[in-house]
Amino acid sequence: MFFYTDTADAPWPVVKSNDKKRARIECMRHFLTHVDYPGKDAGVVVTPDPRIVGSADRVLEKADEILTRAQHPRSRKTTPV
């Protein structure tokens, strides 16, 4: 899914959620840094942890393997048996 839909015009932010509380906090930080709103204090808004929030290839472990498995079987390169 990420391979076909994560584009420069519409990027997918991925939140690694092994620790639910930390994932929720980092998700809120992500949105607060990316959305402009009245009274936004840049000194208070903290950037999210890049190990938890970011692009799929940066956040997910073994992202290449996941993207390969997510592709349609006909588009995968296979070796003849």
The DSSP line for 12-78 is --EE--SSHHHHHHHHHHHHHHHS--TT--TTT--PPPTTTEE-HHHHSTTHHHHHHHHS-GGGS--
Range of the domain at 16: 2-73
In a domain, 27, yes or no: yes
In a domain, 62, yes or no: yes
In a domain, 79, yes or no: no
Given a cut of 90, whether residue 21 has pLDDT beyond it is yes
Confidence of residue 58 (pLDDT cuts 50, 70, 90): confident
Nearest to 40 by CA among 31, 49, 48: 31
Confidence of residue 79 (pLDDT cuts 50, 70, 90): low
Question: Is residue 53 within 8 Å of 29, Cβ to Cβ?
Answer: yes
Number of domain units in the chain: 1
The C-alpha atoms of residue 53 and residue 81 are separated, in whole angstroms, by 41
In a domain, 29, yes or no: yes
In a domain, 14, yes or no: yes
Given a cut of 90, whether residue 20 has pLDDT beyond it is yes
